[in-house]
Structure 1
């Protein structure tokens, strides 16, 4: 059942933060002068100052594009153009049991519906589906809905219509206490829980003459951040805690927050551990026992 607070006819004018893309339960600009998410140390208010738009205005100026993930058509990236808020993608996973949308975009329009923390309630109401959120992150939801499902466990098996999809939501924490990754058949969807670095996407296979070469030592693939835009790294203890959770899972691909952020190969898991150790070493923890950890 769709409540009036989630009816598209009454939510087009609800205010949306232009910096982070979060929709608020009010259309009254006089009553909403700041964004509590952008006021958090992990985020920021742009130099031009705090500003808000509406879903109706976003629909008039933006559209969503669909990009199949290379080598696996079961995964489709959805990204809004021109860039909106932080510009992250959502990923649609198509399983035999049903579809799962990983992460959420602010823009939901008719074209997206026809093709099959933001405005996630709009998506849930349109498709009649639950939205899974970590219980630790309940305070970051600007709107509430009966479709929100708050996860208390480290691991949650995702079902569609009572059928197991084979997808697991894994609570790693880090960037936020409830930050999640999603695991499906050795695909690990990491969003910004693990940030994929430019070095992680680099082609180290050959040199400028096309000759084979080895990956240089000491270059990372992932970064582990408390604040990504403000460049505040996570503490060593939190990095170690994240690894203690992740080490029990097998994966050979990692898919990041933005289109094109795909890391492949049997060594991806080892590169997560290596990246953690590189970061800790450069933070000055050169004698930390974790630097000698293996898996």
Structure 2
């Protein structure tokens, strides 16, 4: 590995400040919402990943929306979302790896005005994206201490933020205090879409969502947090949900599904669930 590298944790994908040697530990992985491999902490760099054959995976998901992932996966494996507007583009949940292919794809799509993320596990390579396009990073104020690498332009916010026309960032809490979603009014053919990271997780059948304080460690959210997430998104019209990965996507009727899924989740928390459930 080269001297003075930006250090990347391959377990969570977190980036740490450039230094001659890696940090002694990854603070994100040592938190109870994540995990350290039984074999111990490992580190890599962008150059090492490129040499190992990592590459960007760019796909159009619907008009005005481009997905940017990594092959093979690194960290939590998120797929970023580039939403396009007449006044600039916003990148959501950027993956941990970045190469010229991805930069060129975004350049071809009109560049990049802003970057945001659902929560610290998905900050990814946002500093590199910001530097490449002189883009502004928009993060909930309460979660900024989890940003382990200096970024060139940072604007903090709380509650909600109209980031671009028809693109609104909404703080929901739950998984992290600043856990957020992005509402895209023009998504789903004008019916509205939510980008949720894992603030809300679309389940494998693509017909429900669920809520977790820690997905890998199977730790649930309490009722108050689930109700807080649902209340935060209730003012927004949306018919589709893209969570943090290529699949699954909740294609339609998403606002109703969020409400019914939350009530079912709370039934289990209270010990009131009966077999069969609700749809």
Tell me the TM-score normalised to structure 2 length.
Answer: 0.84
Q: Counterpart in 1 of 2:20? A: 28
Contact 2:93–2:124 (8 Å) recurs in 1: no
1:191-230 alignment to 2 at 5 Å? 191-201=197-207, 221-230=208-217
2:260 to 274, 281, 294: 274
* Aligned counterparts of 2:77 and 2:97: Cα–Cα separation in 1: 11
CA distance in 1, matches of 2:149, 2:85: 29
Which residue of the partner structure matches residue 210 of structure 1?
A: none
- Confirm or deny: 8 A CA contact 2:175 2:212 kept in the other structure: yes
Task: Provide the C-alpha distance between the structure 1 equivalents of 2:78 and 2:124, rounded to a whole number of angstroms.
Answer: 11
Q: CA deviation at 1:178?
A: 0.2
SS in 2 for 1:198: coil
2:85 corresponds to: 95
Unaligned runs of 5+ in 2: 107-122, 186-191, 274-279
Residue 43 of structure 2 corresponds to residue 60 of structure 1: no
Alpha-carbon RMSD: 1.8
Q: Deviations over 1:33-53 (max 9, x none)?
A: 210000000000122221000
Per the alignment, residue 270 of structure 2 pairs with 284
Tell me: CA distance 1:146–1:96, structure 2 relative to 1, closer, same or farther (3 Å): same
**Alpha-carbon separation, structure 2, partners of 1:268 and 1:83:** 27
- Evaluate the alpha carbon distance shift between residue 68 and residue 94 of structure 1 in structure 2; reply closer, same or farther with a 3 A threshold: same
Q: Which residue does the alignment assign to 1:253?
A: 240
What secondary structure is seen at the aligned counterpart in 2 of 1:51? Answer: coil
For 2:27, what is the secondary structure of its paired residue? coil
Question: Could you tell me how far 1:286 is from its partner in structure 2?
Answer: 3.1
Moved more, 222-231 or 240-249: 240-249
CA contact under 8 A between 2:130 and 2:151: conserved in structure 1? no
1:118 aligns with 124
Q: Indicate yes or no: 2:155 matched with 1:149.
A: yes
Determine helix, strand or coil for the equivalent of 1:276: helix
| 1:66-81 equivalences in 2 (<5 Å) | 66-69=58-61, 72-81=62-71
SS at match of 2:231: helix
Distance 1:234 1:94 in 2: 33
Q: Deviations over 1:1-26 (max 9, x none)?
A: xxxxxxxx997x22111111111113
- Structure 1 residue 256: deviation in Å? 1.0
Report the number of matched residues: 249
Deviation of the 1:179 alpha carbon: 0.7
CA distance, structure 2, for counterparts of residue 65 and residue 134 of structure 1 = 28
Q: 1:249 and 1:94 mapped to 2: Cα distance?
A: 19
Matched, 1:158 2:150: no
Q: Secondary structure at the match of 2:28?
A: coil
How far off is 1:183 after superposition? 0.6
1:19 to 8, 11, 18: 11
1:3 corresponds to which residue?
Answer: none
Task: Please give the TM-score of this superposition, normalised by the length of structure 1.
Answer: 0.80
Structure 1 unaligned spans of 5+: 1-8, 160-164, 202-220, 288-295
Cα separation, 2, equivalents of 1:82 and 1:64: 9
How many Å apart are 1:143 and its aligned residue?
Answer: 1.4
Indicate the residue corresponding to 1:173 in structure 2.
Answer: 173
Is this contact kept in 1: 2:130–2:152, CA < 8 A?
A: no
Structure with higher Rg: it is 1
Moved over 4 A (4+): none
